[in-house]
Each structure stands twice: as C-alpha cells, then as structure tokens.
Amino acid sequence: MTKTFLISGAAGGLGGQVVEAALAAGHNVMATDHTPHAVTAPTQHRGRLLLRAMDVTDPAAVGDAVAQAVAKFGTIDVLVNSAGIRGVGSIEDMPEDEFRRNVEVNFFGAVNTVRAVLPVMRPRRSGSILNVSTIGGRRNQPGLSAYQSAKWALGGFTEILAREVAPIGIRATLVEPGGIRTPWAAAPMPMPHIHAEYEETVGRFARTYNNNADVQRGDPAKMAAVILRLTEEPRPPVRLLLGSDAAWIAPQITDARAAEDAAWRVVSASTDLDGLGDFADTEVARMVRPTRN
C-alpha cells in the first residue's frame, strides 16, 4: 500500500536515505529541511516528492508543511523526525543561545512535528512516528551536554508518546543509531573555547572525535531500510538500537546504572514514611510498569 511520509532533515544523512528508500518503495514523500534544494531524487519520482523549507522550531511553519502535504497527498501515514544539529562545549562555557538552539532543534523540533501530525493520524486511528535519536541519548559524554540532553529528552518524550497513542492505533519508535558513515558525521567538530580545567574531559573528547571522524560503522542505506520496515510492523519496538556499536554500548550503560541503583537501594528505601507496605503491591506500581507498543 502506498503511504505518505513526512520527513524532516531530508537534505542529507539518514534523513536523505529515508527519502530515497521511501520513494524507491513507491511511497509519497514530503521532504523538508532548512535547505530543501539540497534534497536529491531521481526525476522519475518527482510526482511523488514534495520539497519544502521547514524550520522545525517554528510551529506555524510545521503546521503549514503538514497542511501542504495533506492537500497534495490526502494524508500523512508516517512521520520521520531526522532534523538535528550538534554543538560541542562544556556546560559552563557553551553560550546560552547555542545551548538553547540545540535543545530547540533536537527536542522541540520533534515535539512540534508530532503535535502537528497527530490531528491527521488520530481520526484515522493509524500512523507511524519515528523519532531519530542516537545512542548518545543514553550516554553522558562530556562536551555534548546540549546535544545529548536534548536526545535524552526525546527518548522520554517518545516513550510517553508511544503509550499515549497506542490505544488509537498509532505507533511510535525512538531510533537510536550508533555512528553513521555520512558527511555530516565525518565533518570535524570545531574545537570549543573552554576553560583549562575542562581540557581533560571536553577538550580530550573533541580531539579524539576529530582524529576518528571517519570510522563510523553504520551504513545509512541499511538503517533507512530498517526504518521503512518499522512502518510495516504491527508492534514495533518503542526503542530500537541501530549498529553493532550501539548494541554493544547500550547494555554497558544499563548494567552500570543498575549496579549503582542496587548499591544505594537500602538508602533509597529508607526515606519512606513509616508503616507502609511494599510499593510493588500498589496500584501506582502497576501503572508505571513498562509496556510495549
């Protein structure tokens, strides 16, 4: 069945690969980017491809793009949020406007597009939403506080979204790639201006990244194919790691966090009011247990 995709960050990288894969599969695509002229597609697909400049941080612009896609293709079946930027610097040294810009694009950009497409998907009780994050959304890399904080927020947002919309037939997945071999990822990071005290953390990270900027393992075309597969899955995962590096890193983080939680569990439990029963037996505990799509 032909579907209509709305894709942000479509001018390159993983977003661009999703555009190509969706068109090759016979789907309609509204490809958006802050530089839409950079989106490329074979001429035979032009009748199914709509290009538009869209600032994901501007809810009005996002709403206009959604309306244009619906007017052209009749609906939106799939939203792929792939727009993103990256900034490096210490928490203390990064300019406030740069920090806020990272959060606006990487987190609120996805929030804006999701809020705009839900009124299209909800009445039809169907749709797929795929928010592209990164394994960095589980990590805590010095130097990437703005970028990774936004991705952490995107992860929590997507998990809540998945639970809210599952009863009405809409599926939401957070895609968490490791390193992807794209020009954007391979471009050197600008060395940040930092205080000398952060040289061993932030400075070392920036140098290490730039010395290894072309060693990403992820194939963006293969990742795009998986994203298309997710749109056909009746019960897709709420989170999906992509890349052997991401699949290796994630359990290291989970195990370390679980070990720290366990080491302090007695202290954590000691702060309850006296005389209460086991929390696991409460209605609240039953409500907060993780669920899947």
pTM of the predicted protein model: 0.92
222 is catalytic: no
Q: Which of 8, 90, 149, 151 is catalytic?
A: 151
Q: Which of 3, 90, 128, 147 is catalytic?
A: 147
Per-residue pLDDT of 123-174, as tens digits, reads 999 999 999 999 999 999 999 999 999 999 999 999 999 999 999 999 999 9
The CATH number that domain 4-268 falls under is 3.40.50.720
Per-residue pLDDT of 51-72, as tens digits, reads 999 999 999 999 999 999 999 9
270 is catalytic: no
CA 1 and chain centroid, separation: 26
Per-residue pLDDT of 70-129, as tens digits, reads 999 999 999 999 999 988 999 999 999 999 999 999 999 999 999 999 999 999 999 999
198 is catalytic: no
Q: What is the largest CA-CA distance in the chain?
A: 72
Q: Which of 133, 145, 149, 198 is catalytic?
A: 133
